[in-house]
Each structure stands twice: as C-alpha cells, then as structure tokens.
A = this chain, B = another copy of it.
Amino acid sequence: MTSTSRRWVLASTPNGEPKTSDFEMASVVLPPLREGGIIVRNTFISVDPGVLDRLTRDSYAPQLRPGEVVDGFTVGVVTASQNPRFEVGDRVTCGNGWRESYVSSGRGVMKLHPKVFGPPISERAAIGALGVSGLTAYFGVRGVAQARSGETVLVSSAAGAVGSTAIQVARNLGCRVVGIAGSEDKARLVVEDLGAEACIDYRKEPDLSAAIARTCPDGVDVFFDNVGGKTLDAALLNMSQGGRVAISGQVSEYSRVQPRGIRAVGEFINRRITMTGFVVWDFLPQFREAMAEMRGWMVSGQLVFREEIIDGFENAPAAFVGLFRGENRGRRLIRLASGD
C-alpha cells in the first residue's frame, strides 16, 4: 500500500514581507514503513511568525531553501507503527513542518501523555500553552528575567501566542503587568481577558516611549520582548535601574531586508540594564516542572491560551502571511481534515 501526503514547501525566499506566492504545495508518495518507523497523520499545524527568520537567513537554524518544507509545530496521531515506543492511536507532537502526514523513525517525535494532555486540556496545548510558545513565555519571564512579585513587567506583542502567555505568567507571579499590542481590540483583550493592568495600543501612540512612561510610572523592571526595533528602544528608555530584558524574538525585524536594530544602547549603562536572548530549548531539563505548573494554572482558569483555528491545510500560507499584518488574535493553528 502506498499513500501520498501533501506538504507546503518554500517556492522562493521572501523579500521583505512574505506573500502567499512564496509557498507552493507539493504532493509526495510517503516512503514504505520500515522496522522502527511510524506514520503520523497530523491533526493541527501551527503557523509562527518566528519562522520568517528561518526563511530569509541563517539564524537559530540554517536558512530554509526553496523546495524545503516550511517549519511548523504539529500534533497528530500515529496511524501505523513498527516502533516499540509508539502504538497506533498515540497522540504525538513534532516540529517537522507543514505536512499532512509523515513517516519518521520517531526521533524528535514526542508522545503526548494523557495525564498532561487529557481532559480538560486539549492535545492542542502541545503546540500552545504547554508547547513552545507557552514555555517560551514561562521561561522568559521566570527563568531569564526572573520577574518577582511586585515588579512591573512589560510585554510586547501582548496579544500574540507568546506574549499573551507571558502576561498571564507574570500576573500569576504577582507582578504588575502592562502589555503593548497593535489595536484597540487587542489591547482590551489583554486587559480584560488576560488580566494586565494596562495595555498600550501602539498604533495610537505617536510616542511609544511616552506611553510606556505613562503606564509604568515607576519604570519597567522586566521587559519581555518579541518585537525588537523601535519597540525595544522605547522600552529601554523606560527601564528601571537594574532592569532585565528577555528577548525571545524580534518579529519587527524578520520582514526587513536590513534589521533596524536599537539606538538606545547607552541606556544599558545609565540604567544598568541586562538583556539576554534565549530559546526555549535552553530550559529543556525544566520542561516537566514548568508544564506541571502551567497545567495547574490552566485547570484553575489562571491561564487561558488564545487560539485561532483556521480550517484547511491549503490555508496555511495565507494564515502565515496574515501574522505580519497584525491579523491574528493568539496562536494560529491550521486544522487538518482529520483534526477534531
């Protein structure tokens, strides 16, 4: 028996902001299952802004070249197994891109244990609050920036997948939390649904630094940044003495041919700022503990994760492109025909 699977590959390297025509769909015949192999049928795929950085240059991983499958995290179900670690029906998560199905040796495929990903928690949490986005927020706020109760924490991209979790993690730690988001709707959501004390709609603020000064009158002790560029500069001008900046992404830079960077480097000296870049995998040994705490918050309602579910594998590029136009309201997930 042979079966085919569709996948999205890069058609051409984006030049500036990505277009749907930068992607093309390909259909491949899956290789036969061998000893040790499994077949996984994906149910959900995430589309993440950080992927643009991979499409355009060497960064945390080598640049993705035309013809290669686009990066993305997935959850799916094992449909065939010749690997003793997996049984048919197992729910799994993997990071091997925009594919309907795939054959794997099992390396890099993680089983979703029902104790964590069982009711009331959906398996989608593996690519959400309990996946890379959520854990990035958790470790950025808690591990890198070491936010403490009573401190002021500012979070950029506060309505996005990472930012919305960072807001809640900081709030759960007893911090005073302020967000920055790109519309009145998003700003309202960050305050009303996520529990921030205030949220700046940067599109309405000609002077973002002044807006931060207004909402964080005692200075910013921790800035969790996913945006970079002008946003990061505005925050640097408002850090308190000894303030910490954790950067997990620089979304405003990914669609630029030349990065803008930051100007306010002198503030590092004036304000004794420490800035640290990180990726979630740096904290791998602490994942289990973090997931337990995060799950507890989810179950008690102290952590909500916003998803936007978009139906149809064919819509992945449009969903991705929309991220750079500020369309999304949380993590964008593509639901495949087999998803529930």
How far apart sit A273 and B274, CA to CA, in the bound complex (Å)?
10
B272 to A278, Cβ gap below 8 A?
yes
Q: Which residues of B contact A263 (CB under 8 A)?
A: 258-261
Which stretch of A109-117, A119-127, A185-193, A244-252 is in the interface?
Answer: A244-252
Chain B nearest CB: distance from A260 CB in Å?
A: 7
B271 to A277, Cβ gap below 8 A?
yes
* Interface residues on chain A, number (Cβ under 8 Å): 34
B265 to A276, Cβ gap below 8 A?
no
How far apart sit A73 and B88, CA to CA, in the bound complex (Å)?
75
A18 contacts B by Cβ under 8 Å: no
Closest to A260 in B: B263
A261 to B264, Cβ gap below 8 A?
yes
B266 to A59, Cβ gap below 8 A?
yes
A270 contacts B by Cβ under 8 Å: yes
B261 to A262, Cβ gap below 8 A?
yes
A282 contacts B by Cβ under 8 Å: yes
B277 to A270, Cβ gap below 8 A?
yes
A25 contacts B by Cβ under 8 Å: no
B262 to A265, Cβ gap below 8 A?
yes
How far apart sit A60 and B273, CA to CA, in the bound complex (Å)?
13
* Contact A247/B259 with A272-B277, A275-B275 known, Cβ cut-off 8 Å: no
* Contact A268/B282 with A259-B263, A261-B262, A273-B277 known, Cβ cut-off 8 Å: no
A53 contacts B by Cβ under 8 Å: yes
Q: Which residues of B contact A249 (CB under 8 A)?
A: 269
Q: Which of A59, A60, A274, A277 has the most CB of B within 10 A?
A: A277
* Contact A273/B272 with A253-B266, A261-B262, A262-B261 known, Cβ cut-off 8 Å: no
Chain B nearest CB: distance from A73 CB in Å?
A: 18
How far apart sit A250 and B258, CA to CA, in the bound complex (Å)?
23
How far apart sit A60 and B59, CA to CA, in the bound complex (Å)?
34
Q: Which residues of B contact A197 (CB under 8 A)?
A: none
Interface mask (A272-301 → B, CB under 8 Å = 1, otherwise 0)? 111111110010000000000000000000
A160 contacts B by Cβ under 8 Å: no
Q: Which residues of B contact A258 (CB under 8 A)?
A: 263
* Contact A60/B269 with A261-B261, A262-B262 known, Cβ cut-off 8 Å: yes
Q: Which residues of B contact A266 (CB under 8 A)?
A: 53, 59, 228, 250, 253, 259
Interface set of A (CB-CB < 8 Å, partner B): 53, 59-60, 228, 232-233, 247-250, 253, 258-279, 282
Given A258-B263, A261-B264, A268-B276, 12 further pairs, Cβ under 8 A: A53-B266, A59-B266, A248-B269, A250-B266, A250-B269, A259-B263, A267-B277, A269-B277, A272-B276, A272-B278, A272-B279, A273-B276
Selected A-B contacts with CB under 8 Å, 10 pairs: A60-B269, A60-B270, A247-B268, A261-B263, A261-B265, A262-B265, A267-B277, A268-B277, A272-B279, A275-B276
Closest 4 CB pairs between A and B? A268-B277, A261-B263, A269-B277, A274-B276
